[in-house]
Structure 1
Amino acid sequence: MKLLVLFFTLTITLFASNITHFSYDGAINPASSAFVKKSIKEANKQNSQFIIFELNTPGGLLSSTRDIVSQVLNSKIPIVVYISPKGSRAASAGTFILYASHIAVMSQGTNVGAATPVQIGFKEEKDNPPSTMKTKGINDASAYIESLAKLRNRNVQWAKESVTKGASIDSLKAKELGVVDFIANDLDSLLKKLDGFEFQMDNKKVKLNTKNSKVQTIEEGFKIKILSYLSNPSIAYGLMLLAIYGIFFELMSPGSIFPGVTGLISGALALYSLNILPFDTAGLLLILIGIILMISEVFIVGFGILGIGGIIAFVFGSLILFDEKTLGIDISLSLIIAFALVSIAIFIYLLKVIIQERKQKVKTGSEELIGSCAKVIKKKDDFYKVEIHSEVWNAKSKEEIQVGKDVIVENIDGLVLEVKPKKE
């Protein structure tokens, strides 16, 4: 009779020996989405009984968040989203991912929430009502997280408040409100609490068995790390700076090759990063104006005015190019300051060179010959024929000079050069 009861309740006990584990610490972006996809694929290859997704995120892109949530919901292997270690958070995008998980776990000293969507380029006034675009975004996100809460039988009311009011709670409160299943302070305690844990998956009851199981940790890999770097606003900004400096120095010294090649490659990578990351159009426009002004300084003698103006435009554009609330991470302020200081130093140096050049007396025509080196090609009596700058001149000297010797031009007397032997 007991066997029949077990059969009809459709209880499935998983005895697979492998447990797949991977951790991600950072903003949610295309790189994190690719990492989740790779880890689920590896878990299927290893025939793992479940996946532990250890997460610490300040939030990130909504498109990447939806992609990760979709992968979690459609996974044939149960996924445990574990907010860890202590001090971590599942803010904004992390809240959606936690709600999508089959089992939600947090470590003590962690928090979840503040899931209100932020649109880049839209700034609300305090006294004005929310814009239509913002209202639509909040309503969409609220309905989305509500559907996840109902699917996983988690607290619906708080889920909606995390979106509409930006509510955030710690792990203990999350356990009390039914946002997470339980609290575990480390991986070992997590595995112990998961042993014998039962939950619903695809209308079937699943019971986990972690005894004698082997935990297989998945690393990001080279390709995903590169994508992760390119998805970082500071890296994208750094590539943009390399492109600017590379092209700038190539224009200053044509034929150097290396600065130009470096600039072109960095520029291509920077464009790829901008294609991945959402950016403020006004910020990008200011940066482009700054680049044009700085490059114009090379061709138009503006005494540094064009260059300094370009730096100011570039810095202001840099400050508003990316939105930390949208991406979960922003350009490092120290990087922007460093760029400004280095650029100012370069243009001060160029200005100094321009002023020195202007102060120098212009030498043209025959004046340019004085002090130059010539070569004696013929001698007749006290007069000589010398070759200088691919020209043949008549010359005279107070000293005896042999044919083939080098001489220095001291003066010009009409069409005759006054020369002296060059000291060896």
Structure 2
Amino acid sequence: MPRIMRRICTVMLLVIVLLWPMAGVSAQPAERPVLVLEVEGVINPLSVRYLERGLQRAEQRAARLVVVIVDTPGGLDTAMREVVQALLGSPVPTAIYVAPSGARAASAGMFITLAGDIAAMAPATNIGAASPVTLGGEAGDTELAKAASDAAALARSIATTRGRNADWAEQAVLESVSLTATEALEQGVIDVVAEDLDALLRQIDGRTVNGAFGEVRLQTAGAAVEHLPMNAAEQFIHMISNPNIAYVLLSLGMLLLLAEIAEPGIGLAGVGSAICFILAFMALGSLPVNWAGIALLALGVVLLVVGLLTDTEVVLGLGGLAAFVLGSVILFSPFEAPSPAAPVVRVSPWLIGGVVAILAAFTLIVLAAIVRASRQPPQSGAQRLVGLEGVALSDVDPAGQVRVDFETWSAQSVAGRIRSGERVRVIGVSGVRLQVVPADTERVWDTAVWDTAGED
């Protein structure tokens, strides 16, 4: 027994010695990284969720800093305010970096840049232009003044909290002014102008920032950088939030709906239309939409459908196309005074022209198909047999049986007796009986004969 115990103790000691280095490595704390997020395009609820997810990850990793690279024309007011609140209450220091060269922080982007602990810009970028625009009217001017006053107060509040130029922040809203990166640095709107991310981390190293996390001295030079991109679902939703893509999805949904109505039955067109509409309304929820534009687009499709199903194809077709064009133009132009955070959003005129051309071509194709179908003989029932030839299976005097188009029918002769085996031609239908004449006859049957035959 003592020998067995000694062997067990020896094995255990050997295992501890072998695992000790690994335990020492695992016990060492991981290096605190700099977490990098990228926000591009319109600021929407998806941007808010992405930023909040990034800040949570940064807190879990005990990140030294979160750098948010921004390039945006603006966004929804509610989304912008949620981003600002998240940045002001961030558990880790944040740096908003307008980059790369050629990028902008307009409208909502200006508010977000001011809200970072560090505000930085790359050369050849700009910031500002946060003044709301209205479609006019005295009442609209009043709404505009209210929106501008509210946004100016918010801009001044954020700039004061971060120790930046509050007067310019207010002016950017009230007068729609913008600054280059160099001008913004000179006027105290931002803290740093940096050519790239590495230069930014070197320049802000050693700076002290104060926020919800307390007072922190940044140690960013040479720090490990970790990028956190949007996941696949976020990238897809963000992609379709582009106004041109949203318009294409909405138009495609209406075209497929038109195709489904032209060919009834739940088919690929109907399913595709439903999918396009769902994706389109997901995208429209992130954009400033004029619902009158949506109504005009729908009216245009309704007029086209009614025109195809009635005898007023040309008039209603032109009216439908006109409504569709007007709806396309005002789709992203709300009548109320928009928030200063909202970007200037419009659909490309070339895209509108292309969609309208496709719609017009589709309408003409369907109309031509309807005209061709109306000129063809009936394709079902006894009427489709009119004009065809067959053979008498019995004497038709005046009634009997004939075979036409490989089918046996009751028939009635309107040209006297027809013997069994003779060729016959169908000239009409009376109830469920075919009206026939000898196939080789040249006689023309007048209305009186037809009426007499139909009384049987």
TM-score bin, normalised by smaller chain: 0.7 to 0.9
Deviations 1:268-322 (A, max 9, x none): 3333433443322332332232122122123222132212211111111111110
* Structure 1 equivalent of residue 220 of structure 2: 210
Q: Does 1:67 align with 2:82?
A: yes
Map of 1:319-334 to 2, 5 A cutoff? 319-323=329-333, 326-334=342-350
Q: How many residues were matched structurally?
A: 393
Identify which of 51, 57, 68 aligns with 1:42: 57
- Distance of aligned partners of 1:367 and 1:196 in 2 relative to their CA distance in 1, 3 Å threshold: closer
Is 1:391 matched with 2:403? Answer: no
> Which digits, 9 at most, give the CA deviation of each residue in 1:327-384, with x for residues without a partner?
44322322211111111112233444455566678999987535547588x578xx98
Distance 2:76 2:54 in 1: 20
- 2:108 aligned residue (88, 93, 98): 93
- Counterpart amino acid of residue 238 in structure 2: S
Q: Distance in 2 between matches of 1:203 and 1:23?
A: 22
1:397, 1:418 within 8 Å by CA — same for their partners in 2? Answer: yes
What is the CA–CA distance in structure 1 between the aligned matches of 2:380 and 2:127, rounded to whole Å? 75
Q: Does 1:80 align with 2:80?
A: no
Superposed, 1:302-313 pairs within 5 Å as 302-313=312-323
Provide, for residues 131-180 of structure 1, a one-character-per-residue CA deviation record: whole Å limited to 9, x for no partner: 22111111101110111111000011111110111111111111111111
Q: Where in structure 2 are the equivalents of 1:66-145 lying within 5 Å? A: 66-118=81-133, 122-124=134-136, 131-145=141-155
Partner of 1:109, secondary structure, is coil
Instruction: Indicate conservation of the 8 Å contact 1:17/1:212, yes or no.
Output: no
TM-score normalized by structure 1?
0.82
2:308 counterpart residue number: 298
Matches within 5 A, 1:249-264: 249-255=259-265, 257-264=267-274
1:55 to 42, 67, 70: 70
Q: Would the alpha carbon gap of residues 351 and 304 (structure 1) be closer, same or farther in structure 2, given more than 3 Å must change? A: farther
- 1:405 is matched with none
8 A Cα contact 1:371 1:409, kept in partner: no
Q: Aligned-pair distance for 1:323?
A: 3.4
- Per-residue CA deviation, residues 195-218 of structure 1 (Å, 9 max, x unaligned), is 222223349432111244211101
| 1:248 maps to 2:258 | yes
Q: Which amino acid aligns with 1:300?
A: T
Q: What is the CA distance between 1:418 and its match in structure 2?
A: 4.2
Residue pair 1:410, 1:418 contacting (<8 A) in 2 also? yes
Q: Read off the aligned partner of 2:124 and give its amino acid letter.
A: G
2:15 match: none
Q: Does residue 1:343 correspond to 2:359, yes or no?
A: yes
Deviation at 1:47, TM superposition (A): 1.8
CA contact (8 A) 2:34 2:64 kept: yes
Identical residues among aligned pairs (%): 30
The one of 159, 163, 169 equivalent to 2:169 is 159
Q: Check the 8 A contact 1:104/1:181 in 2, yes or no.
A: yes
Cα distance between partner residues in 1 of 2:70 and 2:213:
27
Gaps of 5+ in 2: 1-29, 429-433, 441-456
Question: Equivalent residue of 1:115, what SS?
Answer: coil
Distance in structure 2 (CA, Å) of the matches to 1:335 and 1:373: 55
**Aligned mates of 1:363, 1:268 — CA distance in 2:** 38
Give 1 or 2 for the bigger CA radius of gyration. Answer: 2
Aligned pair in 2 of structure 1 residues 419, 56: CA closer, same or farther (>3 Å)?
same
Counterpart of 1:32? 47
Structure 1 residue 37: Cα displacement: 1.5
Equivalents in 2 of 1:130, 1:245: separation in Å? 35
Cα 1:66–1:392 change in 2 (3 A) is same
d(CA) in 1 for partners of 2:318, 2:253: 18
Contact 1:393/1:417 (<8 A) preserved: no
CA 1:107–1:362 in 2, change beyond 3 Å: closer, same or farther? Answer: closer
Measured on the aligned residues, the alpha-carbon RMSD in Å equals: 3.4
Corresponding position of 1:234 = 244
**Which deviates more from structure 2 when the two are superposed, residues 366-375 or residues 318-327?**
366-375
Instruction: State the match for 2:6 in structure 1.
Output: none
- The structure-2 alpha-carbon separation of the partners of 1:375 and 1:63, relative to structure 1 and needing over 3 Å to count, comes to farther
Preserved CA contact (<8 Å) 1:20 1:51: yes
Task: Return the alpha-carbon distance in structure 2 between the equivalents of residues 285 and 144 of structure 1.
Answer: 34
Structure 1 unpaired stretches of 5+: 1-14, 402-407
* Residue identity in the other structure for 1:339: V
Partner in structure 1 of residue 181 of structure 2: 171
Q: Which residue identity lines up with residue 331 of structure 1 in the other structure?
A: V
Letter in 2 for 1:299: L
Q: Distance in 1 between matches of 2:142 and 2:401?
A: 91
Q: Is 1:221 aligned to residue 231 of structure 2?
A: yes
Please report the TM-score for the alignment, with normalisation by the length of structure 2. 0.76
Which residue is equivalent to 1:4?
none
